[in-house]
Chains A and B, each alone.
Chain A
């Protein structure tokens, strides 16, 4: 490497930066001064099998869409982006693949992670490996409490229970007079935590409700006929469920077949994750439904969201799920952090400098602006509302759309969830 070559690169990089707006093609592969010219490697962990496969796939597609766009417009500081995708499966294997991404593939950052069980195991490993890890959907919570309050390298998703908290605060507004409730949630940490939190919030909101039945079917069960019989027997005023993926579709269909929601209110905190499978034929109006985010038909949605939804639908013939948005934000925030650190030093930042730049950073994501809180937790908006058939699709959408920020619906840094809820002044 001679100094003249370096000089040349500098000039070329400068020209590229100047040409970004007018001639994006010129920018390709021409790094800015102080930036290596080889592609920047980004490790992606995606679930592609099992119950979480649809959301894992949505996350990966969102990431790929981002990478394509960014590479077309010159990459990160002129460095092309190369994604190295690994499978998220059980905790043990995923940890090994995580190490492989860093040690063997030499990635600058690892992005992804959905399952609570996997991310509980990944958290401590991420801290050892001195590489930033940005989790799509995984927290490192055990039950409702954080196991890693002060992570150095790990950046985690919104708390698992936020959708239940949002639903809990909206329930008194839409379903006044409910006295008895039942819950059907999957038998894993997410299901149990959502049910517990939802009840705590209802109580705090002054709803004097009595739980008459709680069901925790195992993951993978595809026949809830007997569960629905139990719900009919218990006759609650309201049924709460954090079902998503295929489970949400199945219970909706099997409930419709016996007219369950004729005399019962329904709260589905997470079913919006598979919104386009909730067909009007079997999904009644009047349920409280949580979309988390990526509300694809948001009339107030940004041009970025509208373009994403349009291209996603054209390419895959389905609508994107919320995970696309989490994933898009994660990788976009990494780019922004690199650029922010570069602006300060004029060099491609070290991994530690990236982490520092990520703290508190706010970027434009698909569904609006999102940020990383100082304690490495993702901040975003949640979308919930009442199901309606008044749209042009064959599935339900929500109207009105209630937008609730994690600023109000997520426990502040360092607090304990139930203590925080109990301390609300309502």
Chain B
């Protein structure tokens, strides 16, 4: 009984950990740049594929399999630099345009990145083979939990704390919050918005690519894997409140754990339950649970 409960909870929290990283990327970009980045799911997929390649390169060159998580995370972070290219090359042209343009542009990015992935890695799913099982299993209250899942959960939690610290305790964080609050005022006070936007967007991209890289040992990379996640990330954002980091954290936990509970208790409700909550939040608290506080 306890073992089952642990299994269900751990399944949900693992899912939430990944969901949080993608949703956090979405939030930080929206909070500052007011752009709803549909491509956050594609960055997740890009990170996943890059992670597979990085680990493949590492093990092929004699890297000890036990350390695979290092090239995995580095690969995921490095490919996040694509955010610089996307922001400077595309997004900066649409900041003052209608929201529809912004949505169309980021949707175009989704399609382009999917094609890019197919051209680079092919159509067949790719994976890191059995490395996932390298770290073994832990027994928690009678349940068997893959240690790797615990590592991902811990990493996600550490990143959440890190972002919290970044936003509240550092100069850069203060600038981000100021820009999110009032862009004109921040600019008038001498903040170089171009510099802020590049960094914020790259940070958002890196959260997504890192999320993709971290999850990949436990699953397999498929070119359309981002699409499914973006839908869930929407739900997270609506529940948590658009632009709020705390919202992304709580929203991801709500979605992850409730989905897991639904699958065990009444599987037909797997996706429906999440949308029911989304609808309820939209009716009773349209700004989401933490919607009032930006970024």
Q: Which residues of B lie under 8 Å from residue A221 when comparing CB positions?
A: 228
Q: Which residues of A lie under 8 Å from residue B263 when comparing CB positions?
A: 215, 226-227, 229-230
> How far is A220 from B127 in the complex, measured between Cα atoms in Å?
15
Asked if A245 contacts B125 (CB within 8 A), the reply is: yes
Chain A's closest residue to B123 (CB) is A53
> How far is A54 from B7 in the complex, measured between Cα atoms in Å?
32
Interface: A56 (CB within 8 A) = yes
Asked if B219 contacts A250 (CB within 8 A), the reply is: yes
Interface: B215 (CB within 8 A) = yes
Interface: B74 (CB within 8 A) = no
How many A residues have CB within 8 A of the partner chain? 44
Asked if A223 contacts B14 (CB within 8 A), the reply is: yes
How many Å from the CB of B98 to the closest CB on chain A? 28
Q: Which residues of B lie under 8 Å from residue A80 when comparing CB positions?
A: none
Asked if B123 contacts A48 (CB within 8 A), the reply is: yes
Asked if B145 contacts A258 (CB within 8 A), the reply is: yes
> How far is A249 from B124 in the complex, measured between Cα atoms in Å?
11
How many Å from the CB of A262 to the closest CB on chain B? 9
Asked if B127 contacts A249 (CB within 8 A), the reply is: yes
Interface: B190 (CB within 8 A) = no
How many Å from the CB of A337 to the closest CB on chain B? 31
Q: Which residues of A lie under 8 Å from residue B149 when comparing CB positions?
A: 225, 257
> How far is A227 from B7 in the complex, measured between Cα atoms in Å?
10
Asked if A253 contacts B130 (CB within 8 A), the reply is: yes
Asked if A230 contacts B264 (CB within 8 A), the reply is: yes
How many Å from the CB of B137 to the closest CB on chain A? 7
Q: Which residues of A lie under 8 Å from residue B12 when comparing CB positions?
A: 226
How many Å from the CB of A283 to the closest CB on chain B? 9
Interface: B105 (CB within 8 A) = no
Asked if A222 contacts B222 (CB within 8 A), the reply is: yes
Interface: A93 (CB within 8 A) = no
> How far is A56 from B124 in the complex, measured between Cα atoms in Å?
10
Asked if B220 contacts A233 (CB within 8 A), the reply is: no
Asked if B10 contacts A225 (CB within 8 A), the reply is: yes
Central interface residue in A214, A220, A225, A250, by most chain B CB within 10 Å? A225
Asked if A57 contacts B123 (CB within 8 A), the reply is: yes
What is the 8 Å Cβ interface bit string for chain A, positions 281-308, against chain B (1 contact, 0 not)? Answer: 1100000000000000000000000000
Interface: B144 (CB within 8 A) = yes
Asked if A233 contacts B118 (CB within 8 A), the reply is: no
Central interface residue in B125, B144, B227, by most chain A CB within 10 Å? B125
Asked if B18 contacts A246 (CB within 8 A), the reply is: no
> How far is A335 from B10 in the complex, measured between Cα atoms in Å?
56
How many Å from the CB of B127 to the closest CB on chain A? 6
Asked if B125 contacts A274 (CB within 8 A), the reply is: yes
> How far is A306 from B18 in the complex, measured between Cα atoms in Å?
43
Interface: B224 (CB within 8 A) = yes
Partner of A230 from the list B3, B125, B223, B267 (CB cut-off 8 Å) is: B267
Q: Which residues of A lie under 8 Å from residue B10 when comparing CB positions?
A: 225, 229
Asked if A279 contacts B227 (CB within 8 A), the reply is: no
> How far is A119 from B196 in the complex, measured between Cα atoms in Å?
50
> How far is A376 from B270 in the complex, measured between Cα atoms in Å?
39
Interface: A343 (CB within 8 A) = no
Closest 8 CB pairs of A and B: A281-B130, A246-B125, A53-B123, A226-B11, A220-B228, A226-B260, A229-B7, A257-B146
Binding site for A on B (CB under 8 A): 3-4, 7-8, 10-12, 14-15, 18, 114, 118, 122-125, 127, 129-130, 132-133, 137, 144-146, 148-149, 215, 218-225, 227-228, 259-260, 263-264, 267, 270-271
Binding site for B on A (CB under 8 A): 48-51, 53-54, 56-57, 213-218, 220-223, 225-230, 232-233, 245-246, 249-250, 253-254, 256-259, 274, 277, 279-282, 318, 394
